[in-house]
Amino acid sequence: MTLEDLSRLQFALTAMFHIMFPAMTVGLSVFLTVVYGMYWKTKKPVFLQMFRFWRRIFGVGFALGVVAGAVLTFEFGLNWGVFARETGPIIGPIIAMEVVTAFFVEAGFIGVLLYGDGRVKERTMFIACLLVAIGTLLSTTWILVANSWMQTPAGFERAPDGTFLPTNWWEIIFNPSFPLRFTHMFLAVLISASVVIAGIAAWYLIKGRSLAFAKRSFSISLGVLAVLLPIQISVGDDVALEVVVEHQLPKFAAIEGHWQTNSSGYYLFIVTDQPNQENAASVEVPLLGSFIGQDLSGQLQTPGVSDVEPDPAEQPPVWMVFWGFRIMFYGSIILFAIAMSSVVLRLRGRLYDSPRFHRVCLWAAPVGILAILGGWVTAETGRQPWVVYGHLRTEDAVSDLAPAHLVFSVIGFIVVYAIMLAAYIGYIVWAVKRGPEHDLPGAETHDDLDDDLEFASVDAGRAPAGKGGDASHAGESPPGDERGDRLGEEGRPS
């Protein structure tokens, strides 16, 4: 591998590891704000139970995300010194704004969110949650500003030494791709967090444990998915048409996987042979590409990579762009089907009484995060061979380092990130098995839990064991008595 390949691999590993945590924590910060606000307003202990449980997962993910994000900043200077020097007058202030706005807000109130429950007023807790959510949103904003400027650079001029000098900060911040890409990413993190919440809640429903907590979490998360996924699919279509097609046509051609402009079909699967400018194998649906392009006549042909960019050296790596997009697209289809199924089940009154659907939600928990990773692979590899599109080539932006040093650090990063990711997943599994707290003030006598436990309150003549309403939970103890949870862990007597 070349020096450029190693530098790109190391940065890609760090960026992909880092993005998994904002994919969870940004959405969870909004969710925590909502559920704590509902607790503050209604005083229902189930919302406090939800807040305390999801706060644990948020806190650990937030810490790991900060650590991984800090590494990216060092890599700018170490691995990509030419890029840092030439784009510093623009990228530097943007990253500084993230620190000044996002990190200061988060650092000022994250302690209250994590440790203030029961120690400060409920109004103070809610404000702290809200400000942490705003901080995570500001962090997402500035990162998207920087990356979108690299995708569609604007508002600058080049100095004789190659430095990018800002001439219009409004055009830099609101560059052509930023508004739609920011909206797309913000919806994506809300969706990915909701999918994880729904999956974990589904596990509790399958096990018949902590049903008040599980039903509330399941209902809210699936409601968010049902509302946001149709919007997200529409926004994603706008990103493709108004950003990619207008500003990065080779990326669009690589997404579609066609080498010549001679087909209106849509590839579901390809094996690329880029040196020969063809696909070694493919599965195509005729006319579907034209229909997706909103031409119902079937005459609209998809641009071919070789026709859009005849020079192979200027083409993006088609297989990475194609499959990155397919992971994102197929993931969105799966989640859309789950969201619409939840609407049907909710209308039929069976949202909490469908074990098969619950298992689908459980296995789909990581799909939102995988879709985000696929989207970023599409965006970043589709920009190649440019790091600042059309102005600074990737091979010219890399630092002049010893490849052997990079090999050592890449291997070290892989090992460390694998350990950290395994530890985080292990912590989530431990937290889920432990379950939410049950010793909440007032929970023993709160009447609203009767409705929440209707799923479990059945008699032997109405719901046989194994259908989510077995006899072991017919009289599940309210929060404050963990007998019901112990039965759920140790087995279900018939």
On the question of pLDDT at 32 being above 90, the answer is: yes
The domain segmentation of the chain, as residue ranges, is 180-396
The yes-or-no verdict on residue 9 having pLDDT over 80 is yes
Greater confidence (416 vs 443) lies with 416
More confident of the two residues 462 and 173: 173
- Tell me what the pLDDT averaged over the chain comes to: 84
> Where residue 440 falls among pLDDT bands split at 50, 70, 90?
low
Which of 177, 153, 318 shows the shortest CA–CA distance to 250? 318
Q: What integer pLDDT is reported at residue 51 of this predicted model?
A: 93
33-55 tens-digit pLDDT: 999 999 999 989 999 999 999 99
**What whole-number percentage of the chain has pLDDT above 70?**
89
> pLDDT-derived band of residue 453, with 50, 70 and 90 as boundaries?
very low
Among 55-69, 118-132, 380-394, 467-481, the range scoring the smallest mean pLDDT is: 467-481
Comparing 117 with 476, the larger pLDDT belongs to 117
Residue-wise pLDDT for 327-341, tens only, equals: 999 999 999 999 999
Cβ contacts of 286 within 8 Å, gap of 6 or more:
264, 265
pLDDT at 430 over 90: yes
Instruction: Assign 231 a pLDDT band (cuts: 50, 70, 90).
Output: very high
Instruction: State residue 351's pLDDT score.
Output: 92
Q: Per-residue pLDDT for 473 more than 50?
A: no
pLDDT for position 86: 93
Q: Give 345's pLDDT tier (boundaries 50, 70, 90).
A: very high
Q: What is the pLDDT of residue 439?
A: 60
pLDDT tops 70 at residue 23: yes
pLDDT over 90 for what percent of the chain?
A: 50
User: Does 469 have pLDDT greater than 60?
Assistant: no
Residue 161 pLDDT greater than 70, yes or no: yes
Q: How confident is the model over 81-92, as pLDDT tens digits?
A: 899 999 999 999
| Residues 137, 139, 142, 147, CA torsion sign | negative
The per-residue pLDDT for range 182-225, each reduced to its tens digit, is: 999 999 999 999 999 999 999 999 999 889 999 999 999 999 99
Rounded-to-integer distance, Cα 20 and Cα 15, Å: 9
Q: With 50 as the cut, is the pLDDT of residue 308 above it?
A: yes
Categorize the per-residue pLDDT at 483 as very low, low, confident or very high, splitting at 50, 70 and 90.
very low
The separation between the first and the last C-alpha atoms of the chain, rounded to the nearest angstrom, is 61
> Residue 256 pLDDT more than 70?
yes
Residue 436: cis peptide before it, omega within 30 degrees of 0: no
Would the pLDDT of 232 be above 80? yes
Q: What value does the mean pLDDT take over residues 375-388?
A: 92
- Res 441: pLDDT: 56
